[in-house]
Amino acid sequence: MQLMSEKGAAGGGLRERKKRATRAALAEAAVRLAAEHGAEKVTVEAISAAAGVSVRTFFNYFESRDDAFVVVDADAGARMRRAVLEAPADLSPLAALREAMAAELAEAEQQHELWRLHAKVLHASPHLLARGVGAHMAAEADLADAIAERLRRAGDPDAGAPGTGPGPASGLYPRLLAAVAGAAVRTSMDHWSAHQEEAAFLDVFHEVFTLLAAGLPAPPA
C-alpha cells in the first residue's frame, strides 16, 4: 500500500501539504470503512463524511469510489521517480532506489495497521485485488523507467530505451531491479510484522537491501 509518509507530506508548499493530507484522510477513511463493512457496502458519501469533507471534494482526488481503496497515494510513484533521478551520482542504482523507498516508508511502523487493513480489503474483493495488482505493476514499471533514465544519464549502454526488445539494450536490468526492490519491501514488511519486538522496520529494510547489495550470499551454517 502506498501510504504517504510524514516526510513526504512535509514537502512542498502549504497548499500541497493540505491536498496530501486531505487525500490521505479520504484514503484512510475508505480503507477503514471497507475493512469494517465490506467495500461493496461503502459509499462515497460515507467516505466523505468520515474524512470530514464534501462529496465534491472526494471527486477532486479520486475518479471513482474504488480508486479510494486502491490508488491511495497517487503521488508516491512520482516522488520515488524524482528521488531516484536526483540521488547523488556516486550511489549505485540499488542504493538510489533503496533511499527513495526508505523515504516513502519512513512511517511504516505507525502505518502498519492501515497497511494490514488495506490488504484485507483487497483480498476480500477480487476486482479490487486485480486493480491493486495492476497499480503495483504500473508503479514498478515507472520505477524501472527511472532507473533506466539514471543509467542513460550515466552513459550506460545497457540501460535500454523504453520499449526496446531483447538484447543487450533491452532494459532488462532496470526492470529486474525494480521488481527485486519491490519484493525486498514486501519481504521486509512480512518479516518485521512477525518479529516486531526484535528490530525496527527500517532496520529490517536496510538489512534486506544490504543482502541484495552483497549478492545474496548464503548465511553461515
3-state class (DSSP) for residue 155: coil
| Cα gap 210→213, rounded to integer Å | 5
Say what angle helices 76-86 and 126-153 make with each other, to 10 degrees: 20
CB 3 within 8 A of CB 31: no
The pair phi, psi for residue 11, each rounded to 5°, is -80, 160
Average pLDDT over residues 44-69: 95
Tens of pLDDT, residues 100-139: 999 888 877 778 888 889 989 999 999 999 999 998 899 8
Q: What are the Cα distances from residue 24, in Å, to 5, 158, 213?
A: 10, 39, 33
From first CA to last CA, the distance across the chain in angstroms is 35
Average pLDDT over residues 169-186: 88
pLDDT of residue 219: 83
| Cα gap 118→111, rounded to integer Å | 11
Tens of pLDDT, residues 70-91: 876 777 888 899 999 999 999 9
Q: What are the Cα distances from residue 68, in Å, to 25, 80, 122?
A: 10, 21, 12
pLDDT of residue 170: 52
Average pLDDT, the chain: 85
DSSP assignment, residue 87?
Answer: S
| pLDDT > 90: percent of the chain | 58
pTM metric for this prediction: 0.79
pLDDT of residue 12: 56
Tens of pLDDT, residues 1-41: 444 444 444 445 888 888 888 998 999 999 999 999 999 99
